Amino acid sequence: MSKEAEIESFLRREIAAVLRLDEAAVQTDSSLDELGLHSMAFVELLILIEKQYGVQLMRAGLTRADLGSIRQLAHRIDRAL
Amino acid sequence: MTARRPPPRRFYLNGIDWNVQAMNRACADAPGGDYQFLIVTELAGTPDAARLRTCLNRLQERFPLLHGRLRRHPFNLAPYWEAPAAVTPYDLLTVADLSRESDPEAAAHRHLTARLNTPFAPDGPKLAALLLTGPDRRSRLALHFDHRLFDAAGGERFLTLLDRLWNGVEPEPERLLRREGPWLNEWRHQFACGRTVNRAMIALKKEGRPAVPGNGRGGAGCFLVNRVDDEEFAALEARADREAGPMMLTPFLAATFLEALHEMFRRRGVTPSFCVCPMTVNLRRGDEDEMFFNRWSILPLYSVSTAAREERIAQQVELFFEGMKTALPYSLGKASLLCRPLPLPLMARFTARPFAGTAGTAAFAYLNRTECAADRLLGETVTGLYHVPRVPPSPGLGLFLNRRGNRLNLTLSWTEETISDDERDLLAAAIPEAARGG
């Protein structure tokens, strides 16, 4: 499994947990906005990403475009590693 | 075949429920009624009142805890809500016709204000409904909730339940009632949570004493509702993205409100001051069915008046991160379990003074996830839905936002004489003006 695919899998699992959704409902092309991610849940997710990969995304110039899909976010994390 | 469990009659209160009981006590001791709130649904048509009455009667029979009362366990002192074995339903619905009013909007506001200031009878149900009909076919349904039994998300769930019953779907109380409690274990964990809360309070005290808007004596509850439409909401999100970062709408909204509070004190000649907004955080999980009692907590957001706007926004984002990293809202709920042996009058004084000797400057809440998202309710199209909470005497001021689709409702709530008319307009307009680029 490539690093990016591994990050996608991590994000799907954690977003499902943070939003209390079934993991099957969280696809790699799902938009974070459409999944219902809001500030509080997003901060929870950022903390999990920081713990797992040591990346502080907000300080790394994260933009709304990076949240277009889980794939895009995984790509953004991969670039920051 | 398994035997069906009898419905519970004893519901143990969690730490936040106990705080809410104390806030209710503080409200009841001051003029103006209980700690309560309304959820107002604006409908394109008028539902049948007789059918609505039947549904409300049915829900009282199915959920006797609506007629319950506070008790305390004789040995371990754990407070609980006791439901009667059976109830005789009360008529919960009041209907008022606004079609002949010269100003129906003003009349509706009068009716809703009166309802917000009507306490529940000690031995009666802790729920009521007000149907305002007209003008034309339009109507407003205000469900009046006691905060001891419902939080904002629970109230919306109740609205959904009412709609399901209206459509012939019987409620399943077993799924919706709390079975947890009385939380008499995990003492070490509760004390560890207490330590987290204590550290946050000590950090807050270093900022000084927060500015308070009123005298804390309480009074009649007043409110003003403002709205942000789809287009303005998109502009607000785009601005929050630019100034606070992507998905940072809530810290942006809090910073905007804090800015308006500082401006209010500046106009009063109270500078420099430090403002703190205890922000309500919904702790309900999407997969939980429990409807009654309180599943929320507090995250204190604060700023000093000398901060520039950019600093104020950055600080709210930082406080969000810090609060979530230390699990402060969760810890506050758990640590509050330790306060349950306190007598309620003492607890009421305690909850009015957590932030450097005050209850904060103003409450702030943003309900992002709508529990009652249906486009239709009681057979009619929903054109709007907003919350009207009554604020406790201290701080006596709060801003409550709820998102419905891509629209935002803002309710400014205060106890009379806490703010002037000019201050009301300043605080209520801050976020809509930010949406318009102001």
A57 to chain B, any CB pair closer than 8 A? The answer is: no
Give residue B1's pLDDT.
Answer: 47
What mean pLDDT do residues B165-184 have? 90
Q: What is the pLDDT of residues A16-68, one digit of tens each?
A: 988 878 889 899 998 898 888 889 899 999 999 999 999 998 888 888 899 99
pLDDT above 60 for B257: yes
Query: How distant is the Cα of B322 from the closest Cα of chain A, in angstroms?
Result: 10
**A16 contact B CB<8A:** no
Chain A closest-CA separation from residue B402 CA (Å): 13
At B261, the pLDDT band (50, 70, 90 cuts) reads: very high
Q: What is the DSSP letter of B390?
A: P
Map tokens 């100034």 to a residue.
B243
Inter-residue contact B432 to B253 (CB < 8 Å): no
In three-state secondary structure terms, A74 is helix
* Residue B60 near residue B66, CB atoms below 8 Å: yes
Tokens encoding B261: 């509070």
Instruction: Answer yes or no: is pLDDT of B246 > 70.
Output: yes
* Confidence check: pLDDT of B228 > 80: yes
pLDDT score for B5: 62
A38–B249 C-beta distance less than 8 A: yes
Report the residue of chain A nearest B327, measured CA to CA: A44
Whether A42 and chain B come into contact, CB under 8 Å, resolves to yes
Mean pLDDT (chain B, rounded): 93
Q: Does residue A40 sit at the B interface (CB-CB below 8 Å)?
A: yes
- The model carries a pTM of 0.94
Please indicate whether, in this complex, the C-beta atoms of A39 and B251 are within 8 angstroms of each other: yes
Q: Per the CB < 8 Å rule, is B250 touching A66?
A: no
**Tens digit of each residue's pLDDT (9 = 90 or more) over B399-410:** 999 999 889 999
How confident is the model over B113-161, as pLDDT tens digits?
999 999 999 889 999 999 999 889 999 999 999 999 999 999 999 999 9
Using an 8 Å Cβ cutoff, are B341 and B13 in contact?
no
Q: Could you count the other beta carbons within 10 Å of the beta carbon of residue B325?
A: 14
In the predicted structure, residue A1 carries a pLDDT above the cut 90: no
HSE toward the beta carbon, residue B114, CA cutoff 13 A:
11
**Residue A38 and residue B369: Cβ atoms within 8 Å?**
yes
pLDDT at B147: 97
Residues in chain A with CB shorter than 8 Å from the CB of B324 are 40, 43-44, 47
- Using the Cβ of B249 and the Cβ atoms of chain A, whether some distance falls under 8 Å is answered with yes
Q: Which residues contact B117 (CB under 8 A, 6 or more apart)?
A: B32, B33, B220, B221, B390
DSSP state of B212: -
Instruction: Please list, in sequence order, all residues whose beta carbon lies within 8 angstroms of the beta carbon of residue A41, skipping any fewer than 6 positions away.
Output: A18, A19
**Does the beta-carbon distance from A36 to B285 stay under 8 Å?**
no
Length of chain A: 81
Q: Give per-residue pLDDT as tens, B196-215.
A: 999 999 999 888 889 999 98
Q: Looking at CA atoms only, how far is residue B325 from chain A in angstroms?
A: 7
pLDDT (0 to 100) of residue B284: 81
Per-residue pLDDT of B359-369, as tens digits, reads 999 999 999 87
The better pLDDT of the pair B319, B6 is held by B319
> Which of B213, B143, B235, B181 has the alpha carbon at shortest distance from B360?
B213
Q: Which residues of A touch B286 (CB under 8 A)?
A: 19-21
Q: Per-residue confidence at A75, pLDDT binned at 50, 70, 90?
A: very high
Confidence grade of residue B51 (pLDDT, cut at 50, 70, 90)? very high
Question: What proportion of chain B, given as a percentage, has pLDDT over 90?
Answer: 82
Q: Across the interface, do B321 and A64 touch by the CB < 8 Å criterion?
A: no
Question: What would the pLDDT profile of B372-381 be if each residue is shown by its tens digit?
Answer: 778 999 999 9
Give tens-digit pLDDT for B54-103. Answer: 999 999 999 999 999 999 999 999 999 999 998 999 999 999 999 999 99
Tokens of A5: 């695919």
Q: Are B258 and B277 in contact (CB under 8 A)?
A: yes
**In B46-151, beta strands by DSSP E:** 69-72, 79-82, 93-97, 127-133, 139-146
SS (H, E, C) B144-183: EEECCCECHHHHHHHHHHHHHHHCCCCCCHHHHCCCCCCC
Q: Would you call A21 and B286 a contact, using CB atoms and an 8 Å cutoff?
A: yes
What per-residue confidence (pLDDT) applies to B235?
A: 96
B143 DSSP 8-state letter: E
Neighbouring CB atoms inside 10 A of A80's CB total 16
The whole-number pLDDT of residue B33 equals 80
Asked if B434 and B257 count as a contact pair (C-beta separation under 8 A), the reply is no
Query: What average pLDDT does range B37-55 have in this prediction?
Result: 97
Angle between helices B309-325 and B230-244 (to 10 degrees): 80
pLDDT at site B4: 60
DSSP letter assigned to residue B210: B
Q: What is the pLDDT of residues B287-341, one digit of tens each?
A: 678 899 999 999 999 999 889 999 999 999 999 999 999 999 999 999 999 999 9
B320 chain-A contacts, CB cut-off 8 A: 39-40, 43
Distances (CA, A) of B60 to B91, B144, B151, B160: 10, 14, 18, 15
**Can you tell me the distance from the alpha carbon of A53 to that of A13, in angstroms, rounded to the nearest whole number?**
15
Cα dihedral sign for B20, B25, B31, B33? positive
DSSP string, B192-205: HHHHHHHHHHHHHH
Q: How far is B175 from chain A (nearest CA, A)?
A: 18
> What backbone phi and psi angles, to 5 degrees, belong to B330?
-60, -45
CB atoms within 10 A of CB B177: 18
The string over B5-18, giving b where at least 16 C-beta atoms fall within 10 Å of a residue's C-beta and e elsewhere, is eeebebbbbbbbbb
- Of B247, B403, B319, B281, nearest to A39 by C-alpha is B247
